[in-house]
Amino acid sequence: MHRFTPHSSAQAASFVLATLLTVFVLSGLWELKLEGWTTALLGLSYESNFEAAERWRFILTSTGFSALALIVPGVRIARLLAIQRKAFAALRAEQSRSDSLARHDSLTGLYNRRVFIETLDQRLAVPHEKTAVLIIDLDRFKPINDTYGHATGDKVLCEIAVRLAEFGSNRSATVARLGGDEFAMFIPEGSRETLALISESLLQKIGAPLSGISGNVSISATIGIGMSPFDAATSEGLLKCADHAMYRAKKMGKDSYHFHEPHYDQEQKAAAQFEEELAYAVAKEEIEPYFQPVVSLPDQRLVGFEILARWRHHDRGLQMPDTFIPIVERLGLMPEMSFSLLKLAIAHALTWPGEMTLALNVTVGMLEDSTLPERLCSILEQANFPFSRLEVEVTEQALVGNLPAARRALHALRARGISVSLDDFGTGYSGIYHLTQLAIDKIKIDRSFMNDPVLGRDKVISAVLALSKGLKMLTTAEGVETDEVAKILSIGGCDFGQGYLFGKPMSGMEVDRVLARTPLNTLGFRAIALPSDNTLQSVT
Ligand code: C2E
Ligand code: CA
Ligand code: CA
């Protein structure tokens, strides 16, 4: 594009002068020399003594007329130049405004994301330089926007931007707004200690009361830090690291800072993979039922099994419920997993002699679903497994979590002949009132009572047994590990026992083998479950 510069008017003036000088010199040359030569050449008469004054008048007249002839175009040119100068100034202003818009965030005036990345790239291209990228995300900005309106929210962002810019300019940092309430800064700094101090004072500066809002309102921020070349060498990589660190800091409690930790990333990836595999395993019905024997007391005869979930992971080996049940729950797959466990367990149980019961653990979420009784019944019906052989175990917490739903579900189950046990009795909040109001058939005394170090085992067991007898409920004691405890339970009138003394949880095949080896009603189960080679002890 052609540019009109202020030099143009000087050029115009020198053009005028040069024209006049040329006319002056040429007319002089003509009058003093060329005229004589030309007339001589043409053979015309020439008066060389013509008055000198006359010649000079001619020269000046020519020059004068030329000057007059230049006045109109000169004025026009001057006007044109003035117009062009004005247009040029306006164009320059517009250009710099659009340059600035393309480079800066329109609200706060800080650099935008693109320019931040460009500048960071330039910095990272310098070898051996250490750089830290900080992502600064405001905490609870949305409530400020919602409470005070967007105009105030904008003011807050601008005020924070000014604070960050001030803070950055003292530390040769480049500051930008990445979008929303997210800011970024890169600093020529490679020491974690210094960066920790910087982050602390940055948080302090951000946390000072805001002047844009009446009252003593303040806001906090969470900072994630990525360091080059330690964490990543590219702007994209560094921003990602800082971002991950920021999210981690948010999770651990806001108003704080966090450095990127490579291990954390790996753990996150592994956890995500574990979750994916788990969902797949649930869908493929690969979660396996293990069976822990329940015996009657005092004769220790096998009466049934509790179904306990296990997952055979191809790399990690046999997974216990505490490693995957909470994830299944979070993924909302608990019903799917439990129904499939029940189906698989029934398939085994149908091949066993006698009328042994199966106990299935059920969560609060499942209890809240009013279709639970029907779904359980349809599984039992399809397998031709008597309803009376199924027990459902619910924890106190599940019951108290949603009492009306629990009440409905328990009644519906009982109406169909499925019995209900209260699991982990004594560990949660259970008003005895609830127990009497709900359709509960049996309580399972938590294993923690079997060895109470404070009050003494015997007294606690007797007290809990007296309570359950008073409520006229059947009782199972969990976690029975010694003969001594089995004896105390038997004397106290406990109906059933479950624990390593009688058998650890075992696979269906293991139960098949044990039962095939020994006729069920001729011996107490303990004799069955603990064969001479004691293989069952190592099942889990
Ligand atoms: P829970 O229902 O209280 O199951 C009893 C737990 O105590 C089992 O642990 C069992 O292995 C363990 N145990 C049994 N006897 C003894 C003993 O004598 N001493 C000791 N120290 N422990 C004993 P497990 O199999 O690891 O299950 C843990 C919990 O996971 C279960 O506690 C239950 O809350 C949950 N869970 C397991 N499978 C399922 C399931 O299919 N669905 C649901 N919702 N929860 C399940
Ligand atoms: Ca249980
Ligand atoms: Ca239990």
Same fold, 113-260 and 280-526: no
pLDDT of residue 399: 82
State yes or no: pLDDT of 331 exceeds 80.
yes
The enclosing H or E element of 107 equals none
| pLDDT tens digit sequence for 95-104 | 888 877 788 9
As a whole number, mean pLDDT of residues 441-470 equals 83
State yes or no: pLDDT of 364 exceeds 60.
yes
Tokens 């702007």 belong to residue: 235
**446: Cβ below 6 Å to ligand 1?**
no
As a whole number, mean pLDDT of residues 430-441 equals 77
Q: pLDDT > 90: what percent of the chain?
A: 58
pLDDT of residue 42: 86
Question: What is the dotted CATH code of the domain comprising 280-526?
Answer: 3.20.20.450
Kindly report each contact of residues 1-10 with a partner whose C-beta sits within 8 Å and lies 24 or more positions away, as own/partner: 3/88, 4/81, 4/84, 4/85, 4/87, 4/88, 5/88, 6/85, 8/81, 8/84, 8/85, 9/78, 9/81
| pLDDT tens digit sequence for 154-168 | 999 999 999 999 999
Q: Rg of the chain's alpha carbons, rounded to an integer?
A: 46
The more confident residue out of 266 and 275 is: 275
The enclosing H or E element of 494 equals none
Atom of ligand 1 nearest to the CA of 289: 41
Contacts with 449 (C-beta within 8 Å, 6 or more apart), sequence order: 426, 457, 460, 461, 464, 477
State yes or no: pLDDT of 55 exceeds 90.
no
pLDDT of residue 515: 87
pLDDT of residue 110: 96
Give the mutation target among 305, 361, 446 for probing the ligand 1 site: most ligand atoms within 8 A of CB.
361
pLDDT of residue 8: 67
**539: Cβ below 6 Å to ligand 1?**
no
**493: Cβ below 6 Å to ligand 1?**
no
Q: Could you give the dihedral angle defined by the CA atoms of residues 189, 195, 201 and 205, in that order, rounded to the nearest 10 degrees?
A: 60
**431: confidence class by pLDDT, cuts 50, 70, 90:** low
Atom of ligand 1 nearest to the CA of 480: 18
| pLDDT tens digit sequence for 512-523 | 988 887 655 433
Alpha carbon distances (Å) from 382 to 2, 351, 379: 88, 16, 5
**320: Cβ below 6 Å to ligand 1?**
yes
The more confident residue out of 3 and 78 is: 78
Structure tokens at 273: 């993979």
β-bridge mates for residue 419, sequence order: 391
Q: Comparing 42-56, 57-71, 170-184, 499-513, which segment has the lowest mean pLDDT?
A: 42-56
State yes or no: pLDDT of 304 exceeds 80.
yes
**340: Cβ below 6 Å to ligand 1?**
no
As a whole number, mean pLDDT of residues 56-83 equals 85
Would you kindly state where each structural domain of the chain is located, as residue ranges?
Answer: 8-103, 113-260, 280-526
**40: confidence class by pLDDT, cuts 50, 70, 90:** confident
State yes or no: pLDDT of 452 exceeds 80.
no
pLDDT of residue 400: 79
Tokens 């969902």 belong to residue: 279
d(C-alpha 277, C-alpha 285), whole Å: 12
pLDDT of residue 531: 41
| pLDDT tens digit sequence for 204-245 | 999 999 987 777 889 999 999 999 999 999 999 999 999 999
pLDDT of residue 28: 87
Q: How far is the CA of 443 from the centre of ligand 3 (A)?
A: 10
Q: What is the mean pLDDT of the chain?
A: 88
Architecture per CATH, 113-260: 2-Layer Sandwich (3.30)
Q: Which of 76-90, 351-365, 416-430 has the highest mean pLDDT?
A: 351-365
Q: Exposure string (b/e) for 279-306, b if CB count within 10 Å is 16 or more?
A: bebbeeebbbbbbbbbbbbbebbbbbbb
State yes or no: pLDDT of 262 exceeds 80.
yes
**532: confidence class by pLDDT, cuts 50, 70, 90:** very low
Angle of helix 334-349 relative to helix 262-283, nearest 10 degrees, comes to 50
**182: Cβ below 6 Å to ligand 1?**
no
Q: Which of 9-23, 293-307, 424-438, 454-468 has the highest mean pLDDT?
A: 293-307
β-bridge mates for residue 292, sequence order: 306
Q: How far is the CA of 290 from the centre of ligand 1 (A)?
A: 10
The more confident residue out of 491 and 10 is: 491
pLDDT of residue 138: 97
As a whole number, mean pLDDT of residues 132-141 equals 96
Q: How far is the CA of 393 from the centre of ligand 2 (A)?
A: 6
| pLDDT tens digit sequence for 372-386 | 999 999 999 999 999
As a whole number, mean pLDDT of residues 128-146 equals 94
The more confident residue out of 33 and 421 is: 421
**535: confidence class by pLDDT, cuts 50, 70, 90:** very low
State yes or no: pLDDT of 59 exceeds 70.
yes
State yes or no: pLDDT of 265 exceeds 60.
yes
The more confident residue out of 297 and 49 is: 297
Q: How far is the CA of 394 from the centre of ligand 2 (A)?
A: 7
The more confident residue out of 58 and 286 is: 286
pLDDT of residue 2: 45
Ligand 2 (ion): residues with CB under 5 Å are 361, 393, 423
pLDDT of residue 425: 86
State yes or no: pLDDT of 43 exceeds 90.
no
Give the mutation target among 478, 480, 481, 540 for probing the ligand 1 site: most ligand atoms within 8 A of CB.
478
pLDDT of residue 524: 41
For residue 127, give the DSSP letter: T
